[in-house]
Structure 1
Amino acid sequence: MKDLGRLKYFLGIEVLRSKKGIFISQKKYTLDFLAEAGILDCKPAETPMAVNHGLQIVKGAELADRGKYQRLVGKLIYLSHTRPDIAYAIGVVSQFMHQPQADHMEAALRIMRYLKGTFDYGVLFRKPGHLEIQAYTDADWAGNPVDRKSTAGYFASVGGNLVSWRSKKQKVVALSSA
């Protein structure tokens, strides 16, 4: 074994230390991903997904290249380790992995365009003066227009530092939002 010093870069995740705390991001991974996709020169999107997107599988719609779509969404899922701001959008586009259509590919590419303008975002872990645990959750009641299932999300912080987040479509149809 060999001591390589303080961690700086590991599996595509950059670790920066400062007096404020520890900042983790995937800046290089994101830029390489955008270059590989050939959209490094694209116009950035202001949000990762359109409001009230209404994405669903439409019979007879144009299909997207499934292999390309799955690789794209897989890399986006890996990016969500340091990007809680794209968790919901990735959760939506990952629902169509088995039969991606042109609209789904457009939504995934919009996330990429959002990343173009926010490639240097990440998560900052500050040195807290306390270890208070806070958690927040929300759900859109019957938000999926096809199966009427809700999408729930949460995030948790310790000492004001984000430590866990998730967005997921619920397995059953909710009869209320309470």
Structure 2
Amino acid sequence: MKDLGNLKYFLGIEVLRSEGGIFLRQKKYTLDILAETGLIDCKPADTPILVNHGLQISDGDELADQGKYQRLVGKLIYLSLTRPDIAYAVGIVSQFMHRPQKDHYEAALRIMWYLKEMAVHGIMFRKNEQLGIYGFTDADWASNPVDRKSTAGYFTFVEYNLVTWRSKK
């Protein structure tokens, strides 16, 4: 067995250590996806998804390349490990993996436009002397006009460090 020192990079996740704690990010992975999709020089977006996006499967709409869409959304799902800010948007676009249309692909690209500006963001786990567990949740109670299902989300902090999050239909 060999000691390789402190962990710096693992499965696409950078681990940066400082006096204040540990910072996890996927900057290189994000930039690789931007390069693969040809969006390195794209104009950044302020939000990962439009408010009141209204995405749904519509009869007669133009279909997107299913393989290309599934690869992009799969990479976005993995990227959401260190990016809770895109979890809701990725959950929305992942609902259309079986029959992606042009609007769905554009919504997935908008997440990439958002990530262009925010590629260096990640999660910081700070050293903290206070001990406490805090949780927050919200739901929209059957607001989806297609299937009347709710979207709910939660996140949990331990010692003011974000440790769990989820957005689920």
Q: Specify the TM-score bucket, using the shorter chain as the normaliser.
A: over 0.9
Structure 1 equivalent of residue 83 of structure 2: 83
In the alignment, residue 104 of structure 1 is paired with which amino acid? H
2-side partners of 1:12 and 1:167: how far apart? 23
Q: Residue type matched to 1:110 in 2?
A: R
Once the 2 structures are TM-superposed, how far is the Cα of residue 131 of structure 1 from its aligned partner?
2.2
Gaps spanning 5+ residues in structure 1: where?
Answer: 170-178
SS of the equivalent of 1:63 reads coil
Match of 2:69 in 1: 69
2:149 aligned residue: 149
Deviations 1:5-64 (Å, cap 9, x if unpaired)? 000000000000111210000001101110111100000000000000010010111000
1:31 alignment counterpart: 31
- 3-state DSSP class of the match of 1:32? helix
Question: How far apart are the structure 2 equivalents of 1:90 and 1:143?
Answer: 18
Determine helix, strand or coil for the equivalent of 1:106. helix
* C-alpha deviation, 1:143, in angstroms: 2.0
Write the distance in 2 (CA, Å) between the matches of 1:89 and 1:145.
Answer: 17
Equivalenced residue count is 169
TM-score when scaled to structure 1?
0.94
Q: Distance in 1 between matches of 2:142 and 2:57?
A: 17
> What root-mean-square deviation, in Å, do the aligned CA atoms of Structure 1 and Structure 2 show?
0.6
Equivalence map 1:1-178=2 (5 Å):
1-169=1-169
- SS of equivalent to 2:112: helix
Aligned AA (2:99): Q
For the residues of structure 1 that align with 2:131 and 2:83, how far apart are their CA atoms? Answer: 23
Identity, % of aligned positions: 75
Cα distance in 2 between the residues matched to 1:73 and 1:131: 37
SS of the aligned residue for 1:35 comes to helix
After TM superposition, which residue ranges in structure 1, 4 or more long, deviate above 6 angstroms? none
Matched residue SS, 1:6: coil
- Distance in 2 between the 1:112 and 1:70 partners? 14
Q: TM-score, normalised by structure 2?
A: 0.99
- Given residue 148 of structure 2, which amino acid in structure 1 is its aligned partner? R
1:47 is paired with a residue whose SS is: coil
Structure 2 partner of 1:173? none
Query: Which ranges in structure 2 are unaligned for 5 or more consecutive residues?
Result: none
Q: What SS is found at the alignment partner of 1:31?
A: helix
Alignment deviations for residues 121-145 of structure 1 (CA, whole Å, 9 cap, x no partner):
0000000112200011101121211
